[in-house]
Amino acid sequence: MTNSSDDRPADKLFADGDSEDAVDDNRGNRLELNDETNDVELAMPSLSDHPYQLLTPDVVIDAVESTGRFSDARILALNSYENRVYQVGLDEGDPVIAKFYRPNRWSVDQIIEEHNFTLRLYELDIPVVPPLVIAEESDTPTLAKFNNFHFSVYARQGGRAPELDNLDHLYQLGQFIGRIHAVGASYPFKYRIPLRVQAFGHDSVAYLQNNDFIPDELRDAYDSIVHEVLAAIEKNSPEADEYQQISLHGDCHPGNVLWRDDRPHFVDFDDAMTGPAMQDLWMLLSGDTVNKQRQLSEIIEGYEAFHEFNLRELRLIEPLRALRILNYSAWLAKRWDDPAFPASFPWFNTPRYWSEHILELKEQLSILCEPPLTMPDAF
Question: What is the spatial distance between Cα 114 and Cα 268, in angstroms, rounded to a whole number?
Answer: 10
Which amino acid type is present at position 258?
Answer: L
- Active-site residue, from 7, 251, 271, 280: 251
Could you give the CA distance from residue 98 to residue 87 in angstroms, rounded to a whole number? 6
Give the H/E segment covering residue 67.
none
Contact between residue 297 and residue 379 where contact means Cβ atoms under 8 Å apart: yes
d(CA 280, CA 296): 12
Beta carbons of 68 and 162 less than 8 angstroms apart: no
Query: Is 251 one of the annotated active-site residues of the chain?
Result: yes
One of 35, 139, 268, 338 is an active-site residue; which one? 268
Angle of CA points 3, 61, 331, to nearest 5°: 45
Task: Enumerate the β-bridge partners of residue 361.
Answer: none
| Rounded CA separation 142/119 (Å) | 10
Residue among 286, 275, 281, 78 at smallest CA distance from 189: 275
Ramachandran angles phi, psi of 316, nearest 5°: -90, -10
Report the distance separating Cα 322 and Cα 231, nearest Å.
Answer: 11
Query: Other C-beta atoms within 10 Å of 83: how many?
Result: 22
Q: What gap in Å lies between CA 363 and CA 370, rounded to an integer?
A: 11
Q: Is 271 one of the catalytic residues? A: no
Burial of residue 26 (number of CB atoms within 10 Å: 0-12, 13-18, 19+): middle
Among residues 318, 166, 314, 187, the alpha carbon closest in space to that of 254 is found at: 166
* Integer CA distances (angstroms), 182 to 112, 163, 168, 235, 303, in order: 20, 24, 21, 28, 10
CA distance 31 to 24: 6
β-strands 149-155, 96-100 pairing: antiparallel
Active-site residues, by number, are: 251, 268
